[in-house]
Amino acid sequence: MAERTEVVFVDGVRTPFGRAGEKGMYWDTRADDLVVKAITALMERNPNVPGDRIDDVAIAATTQAGDQGLTLGRTAALLAGLPVSVPGFAIDRMCAGAMTSVTTMGAAIGFGAYDLAIAGGVEHMGRHPMGAGVDPNPRFLSERLVSEDALNMGATAERIHDRFPEYTKERSDRFALRSQQKVAAAYAAGKIQPDLVSVATRSDAGWGLATRDEAPRPETTLEGLAALRTPFRPHGRITAGNASGLNDGATACLLASGATAKELGLSVKMKLVSFAFAGVEPEVMGLGPVPSTEKALRKAGLSITDIGLFELNEAFAVQVISFLDHFGIDDDDPRVNEYGGAIAIGHPLASSGVRLMNQLAAQFADHPEVRYGVTAMCIGLGQGGTVIWENPHFNKKAAKR
């Protein structure tokens, strides 16, 4: 069997994430224009990459309709000004869309079929609410393949609280508060801004410019979180404060073979080590990253103790807590979501995977003592996804300090 080609993460960008709905900053912005903006900026940031060398463009969206339809990877590539010779396609794995775009393109590079590829995702939840227009097969319910509330992500998070009583609402609220505080600190330190692409916006008030995420609430307090209603269940534990919101935004990243990156003089921010996806009961979909991470670690010949940084998507605080408890990691462990996460930043479904990767790549540069990091997320309908990355800045001497 031929040796695998080295796969590297060259660069990643994203638009600021907006709040979905009429009051959100992207209400009058097309979804495809958001991802085109990300692709255009990615190419501008990497002028050494000839457009005609891009082998493929994979763009994910959960709701592939309207301005998120029509084979989005191909249309976005053309709209972004890439040569007509560059193909593209759309992909859907719900919340892990962009993550799957990356692993699919990474696998093609690792196989030797591609040298350069663009991967990303977009979700305009204001225009396309999750599940809008779908027609689930009635056999899901009639044959009891899933429970009726398995398609309601908030209800599945409540079920994790049911299964593990030690995961209290207070614990979720404390985790959520820290996410808000870490995002505020990361912004203050200039850690998030380098990978943000400004987007022109339009509203009744006129033209504007989106330069920051719209959702963070740095004024959040534990008292305020405790008072929020529980929309998925009377006297429940999931609130708008300890879960990610409904958001709009897009991401894009550039992947390459190690040899091509060297040939073109491209920076290398991360190296792909392994990835895995796994299924769990749809009723507790938030547990998905546990088996996917175990599988990815096994494929890589690593253990959880080898991982020095974690970027975990905060769909719900309880979902991250379940991951941390399984692997014996403290809720306050500084290796976890150093810049905060989706509870504060937002989670535009199919775009979030690359957001995790951008943040891990930035942290790798600041942590030469860390060799391996993980990006992981839960996925609707009972799945989890995990990608393990290696830090190209790793320094053995720093690790021994």
Residue 299, CA distances (Å) to 291, 325, 387 in order: 12, 22, 11
Chain centroid to Cα 198, Å, comes to: 19
Q: Length of the chain, please?
A: 401
CB contact at 8 A, 123 and 355: no
204 vs 144: CA distance, rounded Å:
48
> Is 184 in contact with 259 (CB distance < 8 Å)?
no
Query: Quick check: helix, strand or coil at residue 274?
Result: strand
Cα gap 253→150, rounded to integer Å: 32
CA distance 344 to 242: 9
List the beta bridge partners of residue 251: 14, 121
Q: Does residue 378 have an active-site annotation?
A: yes
- Beta strands in 167-205, from DSSP E residues, in sequence order: 199-203
Considering the candidates 128, 161, 253, 378, report the single residue annotated as catalytic: 378
Q: Given 95, 128, 253, 367, which residue is catalytic? A: 95
Token code pair at residue 117: 């590829």
Tell me the DSSP string of 52-82. GG--EEEEE-SS-SGGG-S-HHHHHHHHTT-
Q: Which one of 124, 128, 161, 347 is the catalytic residue?
A: 347
Active site residues: 95, 347, 378
